[in-house]
Amino acid sequence: MAVLEVRSLEGQTAVITGGGSGVGAAVAVELARAGASVYLIGRRLEKLQLVAAKVHQLGAEAACCSVDISSSSGLLEIMQRIKADMKDVDILVQNAAMYAANAIEDADLSDFDKQYQTNMRAPYALMQALLPMLKVRSGQVVFINSSSAFTAKPMTAQYDSTKHALKAIADSFRGEINKYGVRVLSVYLGRTASEMQERIHRSEGRPYQPELLLQPEDVASVVVNALSLTRTAEVTDISIRPMFKS
């Protein structure tokens, strides 16, 4: 993993959803290494606090908010808390996601609702709520997406459709917001070592071998380097996949 030699994001503040584990946690640590303070959002407070402790060890500030952004009440709570707790937001990392697989014939609509609320509605609402602060700071928004944004597969119509939609939201938003100096990055991941991926492998009856998958730290390094680019450039889309095919 490439390590930034300078604290390229010194003095900036980042909000990260799904910040308690996997890619979200790795991005938080890498942002802290680059000098940014982080505001971690997730469902499990103990996980968030472990990440916050790593951030503090790097000399950066961290705050935690335990909330379920898939619910309307949780989403309203986090938007109110961010506005109350934070004066500025420079970076918004939209990482939280939910996955469920089943044939369309048998799929439960409640699973579809949950994926829509987590993977699409929450990122849209947070982006909308924080937009005034992002515009003032000429901020940056990162959508941690999936290779599923490009390919729809049997058994995963619900999940894949939300990822297609998230790409559309990011692309449309970029066209609207670039004029204010706000950059928008979508990162499309192949299979990445994470709790979610472990569950997916288990449901598929396949052995989970995280060492063969994309590592969260790899993703974090790429994301933070893109965020640290000079303002003469904007990286819009990055696809990352595991080197070893399992």
C-beta pairs of 243-246 under 8 Å, 24+ apart in sequence: 244/212, 246/191, 246/209, 246/212, 246/213
Residue 228 · residue 2 · CB < 8 Å? no
pLDDT tens digit sequence for 154-186: 999 999 999 999 999 999 999 999 999 999 999
pLDDT tens digit sequence for 45-84: 999 999 999 999 999 999 999 999 988 899 899 988 988 8
Residue 244 has pLDDT above 80, yes or no: yes
pLDDT band for position 246 (50/70/90)? low
pLDDT tens digit sequence for 206-225: 888 888 899 999 999 999 99
The pLDDT, as a whole number, for residue 198 is: 82
Pairing of strands 37-42, 140-146: unpaired
* % the chain with pLDDT above 90: 80
Residue 13 · residue 37 · CB < 8 Å? yes
